[in-house]
A and B are shown apart, each in its own frame.
Chain A
């Protein structure tokens, strides 16, 4: 079956540091890949997505590239801010067949001033 593995947190960084949150997946076919962000006390919201191999999703300074050869979708940001403190979830969804997404367990990011 499908699975998503992401690095355990919390990840603690100082403001303006470089961020990488690793995500790898297992899936049959050609899934779409997503990063969601959950700010404290809120629901998840889509941060970025990529629908095919080598696509790069980007939003709010965050980027992730769909790497089929390494089955990865690592999230990166060049300079984090305190306001980026949140929980980040990697997820996949297959095209066709089951539309039930598979989520990773989430990675908490804490950014200190």
Chain B
């Protein structure tokens, strides 16, 4: 499918378990992003990547790990899930041609940590 996809769409896990959220885009955009969305906090940037093998921290990176070995994939791993990581996670991509940098978002993954 063309576009940006996330999997799984819903995930329930337990405290202390490792969880990986997947993100895949078909446009070969150079930039990819992970956000979490919580009531009262809007969107908060977790990590971003400017290209394959280049990643950097966002506003709330603690407890998360990312990698980007291929341009099209940007997985997000929670190494040891905590209840405070219960949230909706959005992946996004962009290609900042001309500095416009509009973002294309995936449908989100709703994660519940029990």
- For the complex, give the distance between the alpha carbons of A89 and B58 in Å: 19
Size bracket of the B interface: 20 to 34
Contact status A43-B43, CB under 8 Å: no
Cβ proximity bits A83-94 to B, threshold 8 Å, 1 near / 0 not: 000000101011
A95: chain B residues at CB < 8 Å are 98-100
- For the complex, give the distance between the alpha carbons of A49 and B96 in Å: 14
B-contacting residues of A (Cβ < 8 Å)? 32, 34, 36, 42-46, 49, 51, 89, 91, 93-96, 99-101, 103-106
A-contacting residues of B (Cβ < 8 Å)? 31, 33, 41-43, 45, 48, 50, 58, 90, 92, 94, 96, 98-108
Q: A43-B105, A101-B94 are in contact. List 9 more A-B contacts (CB 8 A).
A: A32-B99, A32-B101, A42-B108, A51-B100, A89-B43, A91-B103, A93-B100, A100-B48, A103-B42
